[in-house]
Homo-oligomer: A and B are copies of this chain.
């Protein structure tokens, strides 16, 4: 889930070695091809996921892949071309937890500037408890609030999203939470 593209060395169009400079009409350094003039942009990526709820429990997955193998996370992954943010969140929930959900409102939007990512989590309701971990998860299971493995969560955006969820549940209303992870 935390893949970050390496620095560009060669032009995607012609294969020549690129040089780093500020293109005309721009104000940032980009990888520019001296042979064919292609400019290569690198931009933040969206990670989309859900917080699947079943009664008073929420669904977490134990990661079977690096980074953070063996730690617990909400189902989430990189948004792909051809899908919406909500559609990607639903796909990741199916892939990582084998879970069928009714997707709800956008719940958290968290900027993780250091790794160039924006994490978006949607509230979701499980349609049944016939979930099963996909190949990227060792285990998928339901947790009540007092069972959440706070010390073994994979990512700070997972923690933040769960904290907002239980807080909002106590307040009796769910609203969008935007924030930045330093």
Which stretch from A43-51, A140-148, A155-163, A166-174 is at the chain B interface? A43-51
Which stretch from A8-16, A55-63, A67-75, A124-132 is at the chain B interface? A8-16
Find out whether the CB atom of A10 lies under 8 angstroms from the CB atom of B9. no
Find out whether the CB atom of B109 lies under 8 angstroms from the CB atom of A85. yes
Find A46's partner among B15, B16, B28, B44 (CB 8 Å cutoff).
B44
Give the residues from 60 to 88 in chain A that come closer than 8 angstroms, CB to CB, to chain B. 78-86
Interface residue? A176 (CB, 8 A): yes
Find A109's partner among B12, B14, B106 (CB 8 Å cutoff).
B106
Find out whether the CB atom of B44 lies under 8 angstroms from the CB atom of A79. yes
| Interfacial chain B residues near A13, Cβ < 8 Å | 6, 9-10
Q: Which residue of B lies closest to A5 (CB)?
A: B41
Q: How far is the CA of A176 from the CA of B96 in the complex (A)?
A: 28
Would you list 5 pairs from A and B whose C-beta atoms are within 8 A, ordered by A residue?
Answer: A10-B12, A12-B12, A43-B79, A43-B80, A85-B109
